[in-house]
Amino acid sequence: MLPRGYVFSHKDGQSDHIFQHILPHTVSQQRRIEAHLNVTKRRRDISQNDLKRQCFGSPGPHNQPARNAIFTSQPATGPGSSREMCHSYSSVPTCSSAVSKTGGCVPSLREGSHQSSFHPSSVNDKLSQQILNLFHACEQQNDDLEKKEQCRAALQRDIQTILPCAQVFLAGSSLNGFGSRSSDADLCLVIEEGKVNHRTDAVYVLSLVRKLFYTLSYIERPQLIRAKVPILKFRDRVSGVEFDLNFNNTVGIRNTFLLRTYAYVEKRVRPIILVIKKWASHHRINDASRGTLSSYTLVLMVLHYLQTLPEPVIPCLQMDYPECFNPKMDLHLVPSGPSNILAFVSKNQSSLGDLLLGFLKYYATVFKWDKHVISVREAKTLPKTSCREWRDKFICVEEPFDRTNTARAVHEKVKFEAIKAEFTESYQVLQLRKDLNFILPLKNTRPKR
């Protein structure tokens, strides 16, 4: 549900039903902005001074954003504020460990990524060392994250000129610990947490934002993609980073911090997942828009494998810390939930190379694609027969919060068979050669600088 509010009239004449009771001052402001957008379709000339974002123009006055506001808190609502009548998120109890303990394994957002030394047994062979070297060469750096955060802050500031209650959250691989230097950035635009009709509400809001983007000289190539979850794709002129902006897909914010905890709860998780993402991209099975696996699905597949080994490498966080990953937790409290969870001490001392080989073997020879559903939420497989909607799907991977199928993009048998074939072939080659170059040529995986 969106805030009481926002009455958007669609061009097809259908629509005053989407958002009722919009605040009067917001209606008039919206009409002024839309009128302004209609007469400023041509992009402004870009000068050398525009290379600094603070020199870019914006539709109206604003305050400077707070630094390091990667995950924003609730907007200020003092007297005189243009957002004083914005609906506040409902409050729910936060995770007790977040306020009563210190010294958790997950770094704060201000600290960025960190990786302490590995146990010698984790890198005791050539393959393991190759995995670790590739990870160190490609992992996202703090300055990469800072560039994305600067754009997020500027966008929130400008979007609030037309949607005063809006907040923009950075999510996905940029924050979850599994990003590389070349990773795009995911953003979520939230007016009020709740379900929306993606075919109407989300498309209209993103269309309105796209109009705004045409007036911002630091935004390039805004393109609205009308997918099941619509996104607005664009490029930040200052940093060169590509962004995907969605509307109210708040489950993406919640799973970002679940994955971020898994990323740091055990040291071997991040290198393994980054290399597997690179491997899948190299073999062209990591593109949901082309009917293969999304990066999110791949991450869940790896986590499931690590959870279900005879001696698990990682725990089941949602079962062990249910209060920290409460799906009803207020959005601005989500980052505080896992902030003090302690590192997991596993009895499994397998090397990085053994874990990579084991992952490929599991999906090549053990996992029953026609019978099983992957569940990180329960750290086990579930029977396909337990859900009628999933029985005819080729690959079933449960989203840990809303329990939808994250692998629904794989809907063609030929693509499904190609995915299975890559697991089988790579497993056979790696088992024989024990050299990463035979399944992922390292010369082709250098990060963009």
Domains and CATH numbers, the chain: 125-140+265-444 (1.10.1410.10)
pLDDT over 70, % of the chain: 72
Q: Model-level pTM?
A: 0.81
**Once rounded to an integer, what is the mean pLDDT over residues 208-218?**
96
Residues 359-407: tens digit of each pLDDT: 999 999 999 999 999 999 999 999 999 888 888 999 999 999 999 999 9
Q: What DSSP string describes 150-205?
A: HHHHHHHHHHTTT-TT-EEEEETHHHHS--BTT--EEEEEESSSS---IIIIIHHH
Residue 14, pLDDT > 80, answer no
Residue 98, pLDDT > 80, answer no
Give the least confident one: 223-237, 333-347, 401-415, 421-435: 333-347
The predicted structure's pLDDT at residue 396: 97
β-bridge partners, 190: 167
Q: Are 161 and 33 in contact (CB under 8 A)?
A: yes
Distances (CA, A) of 77 to 73, 91, 109, 159, 331: 12, 16, 25, 17, 17
Q: Are 219 and 235 in contact (CB under 8 A)?
A: yes
The predicted structure's pLDDT at residue 243: 98
The predicted structure's pLDDT at residue 299: 99
The band of 344, judged by pLDDT with boundaries at 50, 70 and 90, is: very high
For 231, phi and psi rounded to 5 degrees? -135, 155
* Alpha-carbon gap, residue 223 to 201, rounded angstroms: 17
**Residue 83 Ramachandran class (φ > 0 left, ψ -120 to 50 alpha, else beta):** alpha
pLDDT over 90, % of the chain: 62
The predicted structure's pLDDT at residue 116: 58
The predicted structure's pLDDT at residue 101: 42
Residues 24-37: tens digit of each pLDDT: 333 344 444 344 44
The predicted structure's pLDDT at residue 4: 37
β-bridge partners, 225: 231
Residues 125-135: tens digit of each pLDDT: 999 999 999 99
The predicted structure's pLDDT at residue 115: 57
Residues 148-167: tens digit of each pLDDT: 999 999 999 999 999 999 99
Question: Which residue's entry shows tokens 């936060």?
Answer: 94
Neighbours of 72 (CB within 10 A): 18
The predicted structure's pLDDT at residue 1: 44
The band of 7, judged by pLDDT with boundaries at 50, 70 and 90, is: very low
The mean pLDDT of the chain is: 81
Residue 347, pLDDT > 60, answer yes
Helix or strand run (H / E) with residue 224: strand 219-225
Residue 78, pLDDT > 70, answer no
Residues 220-244: tens digit of each pLDDT: 999 999 988 899 999 999 999 999 9
Amino acid identity, residue 136? H
The band of 111, judged by pLDDT with boundaries at 50, 70 and 90, is: low
**Once rounded to an integer, what is the mean pLDDT over residues 427-441?**
98
Q: Are 248 and 189 in contact (CB under 8 A)?
A: yes
The predicted structure's pLDDT at residue 114: 53
Distances (CA, A) of 96 to 107, 110, 113, 255, 316: 18, 21, 24, 19, 18
Long-range contacts of 389-395 (CB under 8 A, 24+ apart): 394/369, 395/293, 395/297, 395/369, 395/419
**Once rounded to an integer, what is the mean pLDDT over residues 343-364?**
97
What is the DSSP secondary structure assignment for residue 78, as one 8-state letter?
-
**Once rounded to an integer, what is the mean pLDDT over residues 214-222?**
96
**Once rounded to an integer, what is the mean pLDDT over residues 276-296?**
97
Instruction: Label residue 53 exposed, middle or buried (CB < 10 Å: 0-12, 13-18, 19+).
Output: middle
β-bridge partners, 232: 224, 245
**Once rounded to an integer, what is the mean pLDDT over residues 436-449?**
76
Give the least confident one: 15-19, 86-90, 266-270: 15-19
Higher pLDDT, 195 or 175: 175
Encoding tokens for residue 125? 């062979």
Q: Are 172 and 163 in contact (CB under 8 A)?
A: no
* Alpha-carbon gap, residue 416 to 173, rounded angstroms: 24
The predicted structure's pLDDT at residue 449: 40
Whose CA is closest to 212, among 166, 254, 171? 166
Question: Which residue's entry shows tokens 């590389």?
Answer: 180
Residues 28-74: tens digit of each pLDDT: 444 443 444 443 443 444 434 345 555 544 444 444 433 333 444 34
